Amino acid sequence: MKLNIIYKIARIAMSLALVFLGACTTQNQVSLKKKQLSDMVYPLLDTENSRWFYFSSASRPFGMVNLSPDTQIKGDWGGGYKYTTDTIKGFSHIHEWQMSGVSLMPVIISDENKQRIFKDFYSKFSHQSEIITPGYHLVELNRYQIKAELTSTPRVGFHRYTFPLKGQKAVLFNLNTILGPCENTNGKLEKNNDYELSGSLVLSTNFRRPKPLTVFFKIKTNQPVTSLEKDNETGNYLVHFNTATPELLMKVGISYTSVENANNNIETELPHWNFKTTVADSREEWSALLGRIKVEGATREDQRRFYTDLWHALQGRKMISDANGAYPDNTGQQFRVGQLPLNADGKPKFNHYNSDAFWGAQWTINNLWGLVYPEIMEQFVYSLMQYYKDGGMIPRGPSAGDDTYVMTGACTTPFIVSAIQKGIVMQDLESIYIALKKNHMPGGIMEKAGYEHNTNMGGGLKYYLQKGYVPYPLPEGNFGSHQDGASQTLEYAYQDWTLAQLAKKLNHQEDYNYFMKRSKNYQKVFDPDIGWMRPRNVQGEWRENYDPYQYENGFIESNGAQSTWFVPHDIEGLAALMGGKEKAVAKLNAQFQTAKKQHYTSGTSHDAELHPEFSRIPVNFGNQPSIQTSNIFTLLARPDLAQYWTRSVVRETFSGLSPETGYNGDEDQGLMGSLSVLLKLGLFQINGGTDKDAVYQIGSPIFSKIAIELNSKYYKGKTFVIKAANNSPENVYIKDIKYNNQTVRDFSLSHQDIAKGGELILEMSAQPNPRNISIKEHLKRPKEKLKK
């Protein structure tokens, strides 16, 4: 209750501050008075459960620089900007998967603190004096009475500090420290001239990223540097400025290849000193991307939450290549600087990216990027293929120019196949197929468990090929994380099916037959006697004393009840194992009825999943393994239940604006944000859009009108519009459905049909239409109405 009051006070203060800023007339003063779509975003969402790469403020979409204040620095989980911590410990430029760095802090030097400022430089701050919007962050450092403003271009952080008139101005560089997931070591800073500095630091290794990476940076200031001082004990540097002007502007260019390229990034992206213009450019860029989807109806809070979700879908997974296309290649024994191919104008054909796992992406960014942001999906495919060209393997979660082997399986296969099936990637398909196939065979990534860098046993692929399943436990022992054989079996079977679809497209009939046969391996871990997926050992014996609600009992970040439904490619086959569609519907419906009591999540944070009180939930929308389950009902001929339960999940799990909650689990760089967007749009692809027609299941949108702008470079249509007549929190059922005046069958549309543009007209009702339900014996529908 106390936090809620603080939150409301902070929001009122923020609104007043926005009015104040809008009224200011200083020449270079930032004005946020002119509203933009990006202003709908609420950046503080779920920041009480923050993670090093979670929070974003003064950044561009997928920018190399992800500049923001840090209130917690030593640790990945709970690191970065955490709402409940009242102390700023620096402004750092890199908040990324297994990467961090270049932290600095403006300070005032006095006789009292001159000797200890190298160690003691943190400052209290208040949310009441803070303004955050995509592309801009303002905060006042109470200790020094310094107003700090942050913005950026993709590769350059832009700082503006307004100092008090009294005291000596300085900026402290904390280059040898622990930031988030890794230690910053060997930090160096030197003065090049009165207005320029340069430096570097090394990101030390950890068990996820076993190779170091050097971060280079170039700094330019609008005021002369009077002196540079290093403290040998801490390794920190203090840059002094001696001028009567209170305002200091500073550009910080980042590169993972050289200081020269860091300087070139500044010269290319930020040749001027107009802070106000840079903020405006950033806000406009965010607004343009968010504006690809325009929504009407529901409440303003619903709309703000929607655009916050969409913002999350676009803020993770940062670029690591320079403006000229140079990039760090750590795939070999020796580090090298690679060069991306260039267009005729000399600009890179695509950016190279750092990325957390694509594990679960088949239900999130596959769907969203493929429809709304195809150019982003295409760039990521080419980036993944660049890793293959350099290191001989398509990664599943690269960091610092090499794979971390995060999570399991070949989770990038559905992502790439989906891009091909949607016509986004159309060149070099044979080469792509060869690369993907390699990952599914001995010597490929399926052999490796999570973070398994030096061996290739943890994936259990040899058993999967010999026996049709991965045993649990693996008899050889532990080699990496997530050696949960039942989950691995399910994952491989689905990914094999997606590869089979590409093989068929390219007329590789023998491969198609082979991978289709492998895709049935999910049947090997389904125990018909108990009706659940169940681990089995290397002798083929079912796990004794098996509890399907026990967390990580042969299943990755889930329990057996949740993961039983992980058969995205063959729901009908799964239903047959359960005794038919009606029994499958009854089973899944009962799971939702139980899960509703816990709001469909295992607590409100990722670590809460381990708690016995939360971990036994039968459906969990806080982590990836079962986030598709509400839409499964459509494929089981019960679209009414898909509509009902999805609306309930949205209301209970993905609504509201608060630092206290938001995604209730593991928001892996936009995956859960993307999921929330898709559920609210009423568009979903159970198989990840990897079938020939890349079919979408049509669900129950929360808005009365949705207009999706289609990218003309990829799609023939101009817009795809969804109109939901009589929509309300109570009218969750679709009574009638038409697309371009034609009746829609089976609550599905192909990607090709949507890409041509048109109008999907839904007539909403408080009661389901019996004509839309093909099963004769209806289950008892949930009686209670969804409440706002």
Q: What percent of the chain has pLDDT over 70?
A: 94
CATH 2.70.98.10 domain span(s) along the chain? 34-289
Task: Cite the residue boundaries of each domain of the chain with CATH code 3.30.2080.10.
Answer: 291-318+637-788
**746 has pLDDT over 70:** yes
> What average pLDDT score do residues 449-474 get?
98
Between 41-55, 517-531, 672-686, 693-707, the lowest mean confidence (pLDDT) is in 41-55
Q: Is the peptide bond before 568 cis (omega within 30 degrees of 0)?
A: no
CA-based nearest residue to 571, from 487, 650, 485, 490:
490
Let me know: does 246 contact 164? Beta carbons within 8 Å. Answer: yes
Residue 93 has pLDDT above 90, yes or no: yes
pTM for the structure as a whole: 0.94
User: What is the pLDDT averaged over residues 625-641?
Assistant: 97
Cα 652 from Cα 655, distance rounded (Å): 7
758, 720 contact by CB (below 8 A):
yes
Q: What is the mean pLDDT of the chain?
A: 93
φ, ψ of residue 151 to 5 degrees: the values are -150, -170
DSSP single-letter state for residue 778: P
Phi then psi for residue 605, to 5 deg, are -150, 165
So what's the pLDDT on residue 214?
Answer: 98
Whole-angstrom distance, CA of residue 538 vs CA of residue 731: 51
Dist. CA 689–CA 694, nearest whole Å: 4
Per-residue model confidence as pLDDT tens digits over 689-732 = 999 999 999 999 999 999 999 999 999 999 999 999 999 999 99
Nearest Cα to Cα of residue 471 among 479, 482, 463: 463
Q: What is the pLDDT of residue 773?
A: 62
pLDDT for 405 equals 98
The answer on pLDDT for 482 being more than 80 is yes
CB neighbourhood size of 691 (10 A): 19
CATH architecture of the region 291-318+637-788: 2-Layer Sandwich (3.30)
How confident is the model over 376-419, as pLDDT tens digits?
999 999 999 999 999 999 999 999 999 999 999 999 999 999 99
DSSP label at residue 77: B
The CATH code that applies to domain 34-289 is 2.70.98.10
Task: Write out pLDDT tens, residues 498-525.
Answer: 999 999 999 999 999 999 999 999 999 9
Model confidence at 131, pLDDT cuts 50, 70, 90, reads: very high
Contact 368, 676 (CB under 8 A): no
**Angstrom distances, CA of residue 403 to CA of 96, 334, 431, 752, 777:** 14, 15, 20, 34, 50
Helix, strand or coil for residue 306? helix
Cross-sheet strand order for the sheet of 748-749: 683-684, 696-698, 748-749
- Distance between CA 40 and CA 758 in Å, rounded? 27
The percent of residues above 90 in pLDDT, for the chain, comes to 87
User: How many CA atoms, within 13 angstroms, populate the side-chain half-sphere of residue 592?
Assistant: 26
Question: Band of the pLDDT at 738, cuts 50, 70, 90?
Answer: very high
